[in-house]
Chain A
Amino acid sequence: MNDISVFFDGVCKKYPHFSLDNIGLELATGSIMGFIGANGAGKSTTLRILMGLVHQDSGTVRVLGHSMPEEQTAAKLDIGFVSEDLRLYGPATLEWHMNFLRPIFPRWDQPYADGLAHRFDLNPQQKIKGLSHGQRVKAALLLALARRPRLLVLDEPTTGLDPVARVEVLEELMSVLADEDRTILFSSHNTLDVEQISDQITFIDRGKIIDSDNKEAFLDRWRRLRLVLPPDGVVPRLPGFVQVGGSGRLPVVTTNRFEPAMVSACNEMGATVQAVDTMTLEEIFVANVHSRRERGAA
């Protein structure tokens, strides 16, 4: 049993107008990683390298113990991949797709597939081209799940889904994890979904990993401190300082290394702490990206 399902080290890929720079990732078996980035940040390219669909220029990629892209044939039997373009064949029905995949994947689970079709409210006899976007996403997910893959790689699985479908999809993803040997990596720009179900969170921006940690640690160490400064007071340089907002004597300082002692330290330095705000993953992501971009520009 390999404890790490996905491992990236020093992975680079250069395109004329975009490059992935020194990507490192580690995803433990049995957990979910949410991969967050703005549009064009490099999420899909990273997932395609993971699948062996795009070859890295340099660096190591190991997936379920297989070296990629060299051993992609063996690896792909155990990976369920749902890409943004879904790759379904329009003129055929969902049932046709199931019949096509069944003989290829030894662990194909037909009762589970039938159950999923029922829970997702999909008609197997309906042609793919007649399905709505949400139904197509659910059909693609069904085809990936019914293979019972050890690793699920999902590119934006909840984008464009209505609230009911989103909950259905999240529910199925969580139930996959009942089996401790199975792992999920999904990309999203919906931070709410990621915040809810991920164990591990990775931020990517402009082709670089800008932060990666377990979710609880992430949410614990980011705080906004609302301060009241004395006249002529200066904003204390807090450890893990990310950015300062607010106005002159009422600054709002964001830190990514919060600890409770910070409050008493500020108070002793004359900066009264009015409130310590927790931050949502979305706020953390945006603050993180802005501060990195500003620093990059400076």
Chain B
Amino acid sequence: MHSGIVISQTDTRPMYLQIMEQVKQRVAVGEWAPGTEIPSIRQLAIDLRVSVITIKRAYLELEREGIILTQQGKGSIVAPNPNLSPRLYYEEFAERLEQVARLGELLGLSNDQIAARLRDASKPLDLTRTETIRLKKEIA
């Protein structure tokens, strides 16, 4: 089975986290259904040209989170009821919020101003919309 996982060289997160995230996405969208066999640690290592120990680490964490099951000598499968708790996303979210708060403080923004900017950020930007329209025209 070809994993289709692509590692980013510019992503500053550790490689095992990138691999975990992509496995989870495959499970979440149903590409890797519960109970299906997933690539063995060695196979994925060779496929991604990433050390065995890194894949081992990713699989171990995925097993701890209840996404996959690994049987000694038998390979790994997607857990029958994969637990896709977004704990990692929450952690990352908290981390980014902290960064934003600190930068805001550096710029002398009040808490209300930071909150307002955050509300703005969740609206799609006009710039993006014009860009999308332009691209659509180009593609069509």
Known interface pairs A177-B45, A216-B16; 4 further A-B residue pairs with C-beta atoms within 8 A, sorted by A's residue number: A170-B49, A174-B49, A216-B57, A274-B102
| Contact A197-B53, Cβ < 8 Å, known A177-B45, A178-B42, A216-B16 | no
A171 within 8 A of B: yes
Our pick among B14, B45, B50, B99 for the contact of A219 (Cβ within 8 Å) is B14
Most chain-A Cβ atoms within 10 A of its Cβ — which of B12, B16, B49? B49
Residues of B within 8 A of A197 (CB): 49-51
Majority secondary structure, B binding face: helix
| Contact A31-B46, Cβ < 8 Å, known A278-B12, A278-B14 | no
> Taking CB as reference atom, which chain A residue is nearest B53?
A199
How many Å lie between the Cα of A294 and that of B77 in the bound state?
50
Interface string of A168-190 (1 = CB under 8 A from B): 00110011011010000000000
Interface string of B46-59 (1 = CB under 8 A from A): 10011111100100
What number of residue pairs across chains A and B have CB atoms under 8 A from each other?
45
A204 within 8 A of B: no
Counting contact residues on chain B (CB < 8 A from A), the size range is: 10 to 19
User: Do A199 and B14 touch across chains, with their CB atoms under 8 A apart?
Assistant: no
Instruction: Looking at the assembled complex, report how far the CB atom of A194 sits from the nearest CB atom of chain B, in whole angstroms.
Output: 9
A32 within 8 A of B: yes
Counting contact residues on chain A (CB < 8 A from B), the size range is: 20 to 34
A58 within 8 A of B: no
> Taking CB as reference atom, which chain B residue is nearest A31?
B52
Q: Which residues of B contact A (CB under 8 A)?
A: 12-14, 16, 42-43, 45-46, 49-54, 57, 99, 102
Our pick among A30, A180, A196, A274 for the contact of B50 (Cβ within 8 Å) is A196
Residues of A within 8 A of B50 (CB): 196-197
> Taking CB as reference atom, which chain A residue is nearest B46?
A174
Residues of B within 8 A of A219 (CB): 14
How many Å lie between the Cα of A170 and that of B99 in the bound state?
37
Our pick among A167, A175, A216, A275 for the contact of B54 (Cβ within 8 Å) is A216
| Contact A215-B46, Cβ < 8 Å, known A278-B12, A278-B14 | no
How many Å lie between the Cα of A216 and that of B53 in the bound state?
7
Instruction: Looking at the assembled complex, report how far the CB atom of B91 sits from the nearest CB atom of chain A, in whole angstroms.
Output: 11
A214 within 8 A of B: yes
Our pick among A170, A214, A275, A278 for the contact of B53 (Cβ within 8 Å) is A214
A198 within 8 A of B: yes
Q: Which of A200-232 contact B (CB under 8 A)?
A: 200, 214-216, 219
